Amino acid sequence: MIKPYKISVPKSTLNNIYKKVRNYPWKDIQKLNGWTHGTNYKYLKSISKYWISKYNWKKQEKKLNSFSNFTTLIDGLKIHFIKEKGSGKNPTPLLLLHGWPGSIIEFLEIIQKLAHPEKYGGKIEDAFDVIVPSLPGFGFSGLPSKPYGPRKIAKVMNKLMINDLKYKKYIAQGGDWGATICNWLGYDHSANCKAIHINCLTMRHPKGAINKKERAWEKRFANDQIMQEGYRTIQATKPQSLSYSMIDSPIGVAAWILEKFHSWSDLKHGKIEKTYNKDILLTNIMIYLITKTFNTASWIYFGRREEGGRMFPKKFKKINIPTGIAIFPKEMSEWPPKSYLERIFKIKHWSVMKKGGHFAALEQPDLLVKDLRKFLKCL
């Protein structure tokens, strides 16, 4: 049963977080001020000072609650979601899926634009019913007792759209894990998911590269991943060990997450503070802290490994629903050649953006909104 939900964090929870930030032993940390070795000491200390002096969670909480929040039970697990009813007589249902280390925060600036395009220079016939869930184990959704991989999460998301929200057909969009879940929605649930739009590729064709361009891309990807694999390997093999330290360290969680926002974004002048305001970054981090979901959110990497990893099944059949691909230039991993993608997807829409990175909805919200409207017209 769907129930209205209001986010309300106790003052004691907030005070406990702020106390730990305030008392962090900065004097015991070596002052490495670049980003080469990990999160920049100077930047982390600066944003931590802002955190305890100017940041206002209750203001952000009010913003979150300005949307219609709900929860429902799916397979015994609480699933939280935002729903914004679109304008007009027949808005298209759109499922927006976040990844790690993101949250529903990624989509707050585009929900209204997608649901009510006529208010933002668009046409009412381009309106979407916008559904933004917290993935299982993330944010305001429930904590699973064991890891959920992206294929299992796709099954949960399809149930949300079909069984709980009573849509017969819908479109799904995502980056990072959201894109992976979109892939599985298209593969396993094409009877209901009529199209997907992705701005990241994490899955691989079981036959691998089959021509010179594809093999060259595979080699570049493997070399690029040498410096990307650290966090992923830990979270895919021993996430529980990491969680013992993170559950009690707001600064630790902030450092782990902020490094990815720095590494994976199209930074203006190379600076994270020129690309994201502190309130957005801290609110995303706070969602992990107040819900105590750093642990279960990281389990998705372990869950994917249990499901078979990056590879689609050996008997893979092409995802035969319309697919939109939006390539942002600073995506964390290079996209493969189009020939490779055409063996996986039925590509109906292809966009190459001039700017933007991994967190497309946060970095370039208007470009993503415009691209989704274009994709809708292809269907």
Q: Which residues are identified as catalytic?
A: 176, 301, 358
Helix (H) or strand (E) holding 234: helix 229-237
Q: How far apart are CA 142 and CA 134, in angstroms?
A: 9
Strands (E), 178-296: 193-198
Q: Yes or no: say if 55 and 282 are a contact pair by the CB < 8 Å rule.
A: yes
Amino acid at 204: R
List strands edge to edge, sheet with 77-84. Answer: 3-4, 69-74, 77-84, 128-133, 92-97, 170-174, 193-198, 319-327, 345-352
Other residues' Cβ atoms within 10 Å of the Cβ of residue 204: 18
Closest CA to 87 of 125, 132, 32, 120: 125
CA pair distance 16, 58, nearest whole angstrom: 15
The DSSP code sequence of 47-87 is: HHHHHHHT--HHHHHHHHHTS-EEEEEETTEEEEEEEEPPS
Q: Report the distance separating Cα 266 and Cα 220, nearest Å.
A: 20
Q: Which helix (H) or strand (E) holds 19?
A: helix 11-22
Burial pattern 289-318, b for ≥16 Cβ within 10 A else e, equals: bbbebbbbbbbbbbbbbeeeeeebeeebee
Q: How far apart, in whole angstroms, are the C-alpha atoms of residue 24 and residue 17?
A: 11
8 A C-beta contact, residue 87 and residue 124: yes
Other Cβ atoms less than 10 A from the Cβ of 278: the count is: 15
Of 55, 325, 66, 314, nearest in space to 175 by CA: 325
Contact 309, 232 (CB under 8 A): no
